[in-house]
């Protein structure tokens, strides 16, 4: 690898490290006493400094050195973490990003000066830090007679923080010599807590004078991983015994127990401490990953798509052949192709948590700029979505979150007058729903005002003054270009630019937006997106001589359009399916097919959200792995189709845009309901 290539790798890894640094600082603002977070921030800065100097980023390394030196005071517990310190640290993080991207800036000295001022500013007291303690205690033999319950003492220790408890039975006498009312056990407890040593001693306040109690700090896991070191530090075995067991190249604990140098209880206790400390350290670690350029993933997906098409051709050839061996090979290749498709799509999938994390800083800064108090909560970060979709969702979500803070959440005083909590709440969540992912943004603010939206829509000529329009239909008007109900233009909003971009981007991703709102209670915006843009499962149908693909995730059921059903609809194009009116569209008429229809047509019932429509086709051929190809610029504006695919015989089948067809069928249903 050349030096230039190595520098490019550093830049990419540094970008990821800066993203993590921002999340760590925001987490630290919410939990200032977490020593693990403080150490993680310091390690990130140390890595940036060392790697930057190694690859020639001297200005970056010099600035990070100043940042690291200032933050070392926090690490040592000399300075408490406060809001001002976090704010300046975020500024410093942004400056590092500018240096990484090669921007010419001379703000570094000023940022470091503000950081040093925040460090030197008077602070109440250093925030408590999480520390791991080893507690070994043996109670007086008559402790239970005096009314002290050992289990209650252990519960009090658990209340101080996560702990690992091991009972030591080496003081237990033989059965004949055992006194039932005496306490013969001792305990080892490994406790991680923000509480002090004095707080731990307070647990034993009533028996501390008569008991054996040893409390010691446990070094961090990075400094002490080995079991032998733990046993020596606990005075369970001498160093010579550990060296002797290590020389045998066998598990140290087992050898010491076999040699009678260590009791099984004390081995279990030491192992428990080792696992406890490792678990605490693991919480601050990120899983190991292999970095692969995005274009290689795209290229691999394209190759898999070609394989799927070739496999479809092979299936067609095998289906027309009587060669059983060919059929068997075709089935095996089909299975492997399907597994490879799922594996490749899994590689492209990424948790949306990384995307959600970007908005914590946005919410914090916007709330501060507007003088509002906003709590930002996320859920469903583990939900996975195609990387291409994630990359394009950033801008739409920024618009929606900005609108929620600016237009939705009220100022503190107004919320208090309305009987709401002083702090507003914005919730960003993700979840799977079939072959879709639903990303929702919900706030507890003012909600949408249908009257204001209608007045603005009438002024812009979007609806007639006497038109009968539902609230749901009015809400969709906010996605019209240039539409805004803001009374004044600010740096954040008011120009009517943004929501139309959101809708266009989501539709380009073959998704749709659903909006619910209640005046005075808040709004819920849901983005329904496909899991992937590459390959989907589809239902292949025929209309006339042409074949089309319906995304299988949208299909609810298939029914036959009998002569009786058609007559029952009274030529009003609707079905009565289990006492539910479902409008249907005849694709033959929609696509201008002039050939005679098949005698037994089928209706494929599809849905988008809570709306359904039936699509009348001549034949349902069967399921089909659909490799999505984008339409040419000449056909890209045809709303009935979202793409195309290549079939096994080399012909092209268009993929139906279900949301458009469902929307097209709704006016017929509305008119039908008014007539009924």
3-state secondary structure 255-290: HHHHCCCCCHHHHHHHHHHHHHHHHHHHCCCCCCCC
Backbone angles phi, psi at 515, to 5 degrees: -130, 125
User: Could you tell me which residues are beta bridge partners of residue 429?
Assistant: 379, 440
Q: Which two tokens stand for residue 123?
A: 């602070």
Instruction: Determine the Cα angle at 271 with ends 265 and 274, to 5°.
Output: 145
User: In this structure, are residues 383 and 431 in contact, taking their beta carbons and an 8 Å threshold?
Assistant: yes
Q: Which two tokens stand for residue 553?
A: 């995730």
User: In this structure, are residues 641 and 655 in contact, taking their beta carbons and an 8 Å threshold?
Assistant: yes
Backbone angles phi, psi at 391, to 5 degrees: -60, -30
How many CA atoms lie less than 13 Å away from 266 in the CB half-sphere? 20
* Cα gap 81→32, rounded to integer Å: 5
Sole residue written with tokens 């691999």: 300
Of 379, 381, 363, nearest in space to 423 by CA = 363
301 backbone φψ class: left, alpha, beta (φ>0; ψ -120 to 50): alpha
**What is the torsional sign of CA 220, 224, 228, 229?**
negative
Alpha-carbon torsion angle 436, 438, 439, 444, nearest 10: 170
User: Which spans in 320-411 are helix H?
Assistant: 324-348, 353-370, 387-403
Residues 6 or more apart in contact with residue 180 via CB below 8 angstroms: none
- How far does CA 433 lie from the centroid of its chain? 15
Write the CA distances from 459 to 407, 453, 456, 497, 527, integer angstroms: 21, 10, 5, 17, 29
Of 510, 518, 561, nearest in space to 536 by CA = 510
Burial 496-519 (b: 16+ CB within 10 A, else e): bebbbebbebbbebbbbbbebbee
Known catalytic residues? 46, 68, 403
Backbone angles phi, psi at 604, to 5 degrees: -95, 115
Residue 629 DSSP symbol: B
* Cα gap 328→311, rounded to integer Å: 13
Q: Which two tokens stand for residue 68?
A: 């690291």
User: In this structure, are residues 484 and 493 in contact, taking their beta carbons and an 8 Å threshold?
Assistant: yes
User: In this structure, are residues 203 and 155 in contact, taking their beta carbons and an 8 Å threshold?
Assistant: no
Of 93, 107, 129, nearest in space to 19 by CA = 93
């Amino acid at each position: 690898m050349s030096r230039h290539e190595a520098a490019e790798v550093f830049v990419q890894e540094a970008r990821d490290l800066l993203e993590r640094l921002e999340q760590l600082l925001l987490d630290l603002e919410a939990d200032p006493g977490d020593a693990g977070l403080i150490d993680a921030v310091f390690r990130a800065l140390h890595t940036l400094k060392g790697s930057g100097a190694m690859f020639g980023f001297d200005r970056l390394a010099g600035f990070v050195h100043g940042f690291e030196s200032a933050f070392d005071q926090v690490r040592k517990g000399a300075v408490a973490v406060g809001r001002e310190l976090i704010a300046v640290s975020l500024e410093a993080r942004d400056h590092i990003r500018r240096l990484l991207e090669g921007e010419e800036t001379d703000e570094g000295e000023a940022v470091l000066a503000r950081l040093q001022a925040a460090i030197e500013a008077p602070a109440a007291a250093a925030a408590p830090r999480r520390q791991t303690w080893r507690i070994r205690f043996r109670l007086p033999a008559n402790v239970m007679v005096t009314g002290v319950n050992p289990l209650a003492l252990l519960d009090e220790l658990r209340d101080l923080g996560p702990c690992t408890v091991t009972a030591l039975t080496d003081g237990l006498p033989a059965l004949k010599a055992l006194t039932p009312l005496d306490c013969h056990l001792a305990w080892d407890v490994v406790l991680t807590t923000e509480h002090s040593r004095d707080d731990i001693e307070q647990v034993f306040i009533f028996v501390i004078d008569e008991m054996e109690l040893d409390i010691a700090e446990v070094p961090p896991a990075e400094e002490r991983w080995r079991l032998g070191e733990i046993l020596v530090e606990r005075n369970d075995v001498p160093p010579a015994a550990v060296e002797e067991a290590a020389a045998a190249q066998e598990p140290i604990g087992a050898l010491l127990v076999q040699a009678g140098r260590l009791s099984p209880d004390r081995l279990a206790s030491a192992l428990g401490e080792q696992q406890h400390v490792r678990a605490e350290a693991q919480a601050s670690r990120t899983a190991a990953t292999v970095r692969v350029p995005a274009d290689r993933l795209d290229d691999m997906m394209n190759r898999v798509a070609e394989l799927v098409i070739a496999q479809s051709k092979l299936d067609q050839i095998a289906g027309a052949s009587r060669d059983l061996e060919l059929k068997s090979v075709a089935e095996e290749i089909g299975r492997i192709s399907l597994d490879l498709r799922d594996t490749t799509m899994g590689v492209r999938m990424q948790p949306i948590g990384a995307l959600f994390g970007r908005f914590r800083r946005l919410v914090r800064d916007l709330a501060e700029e507007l003088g509002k108090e906003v709590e930002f909560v996320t859920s469903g970060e583990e939900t996975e979505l195609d990387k291409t979709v994630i990359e394009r969702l950033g801008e739409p979500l920024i618009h929606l979150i900005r609108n929620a803070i600016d237009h939705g959440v009220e100022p503190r005083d107004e919320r208090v007058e309305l009987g709401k909590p002083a702090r507003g709440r914005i919730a960003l969540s993700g979840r799977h729903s079939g072959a879709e992912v639903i990303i929702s943004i919900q706030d507890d603010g003012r909600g949408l005002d249908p009257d204001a939206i209608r007045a603005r829509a009438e002024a812009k000529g979007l609806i007639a003054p006497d038109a009968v329009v539902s609230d749901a239909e009015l809400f969709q008007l906010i996605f019209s270009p240039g539409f805004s109900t803001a009374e004044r233009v600010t740096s954040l909003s008011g120009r009517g630019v943004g929501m139309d971009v959101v809708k266009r981007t989501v539709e380009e991703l073959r998704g749709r937006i659903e909006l619910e709102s209640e005046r005075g209670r808040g709004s819920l915006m849901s983005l329904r997106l496909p899991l992937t843009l590459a390959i989907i499962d589809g239902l292949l149908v025929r209309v006339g001589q042409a074949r089309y693909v319906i995304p299988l995730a949208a299909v609810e059921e298939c029914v036959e359009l009998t002569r009786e059903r058609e007559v029952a609809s009274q030529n009003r194009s609707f079905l009565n399916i289990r006492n539910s009116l479902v409008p249907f569209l005849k694709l033959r008429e929609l696509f201008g097919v002039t050939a005679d229809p098949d005698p037994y047509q089928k209706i494929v019932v599809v849905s988008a959200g809570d709306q359904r429509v039936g699509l009348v086709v001549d034949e349902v051929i069967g399921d089909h792995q659909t490799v999505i190809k984008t339409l040419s610029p000449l056909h890209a504006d045809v709303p009935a189709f979202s793409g195309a695919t290549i079939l096994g015989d080399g012909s092209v089948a268009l993929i139906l845009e279900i949301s458009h067809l469902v929307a097209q069928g709704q006016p017929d249903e509305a008119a039908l309901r008014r007539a009924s």
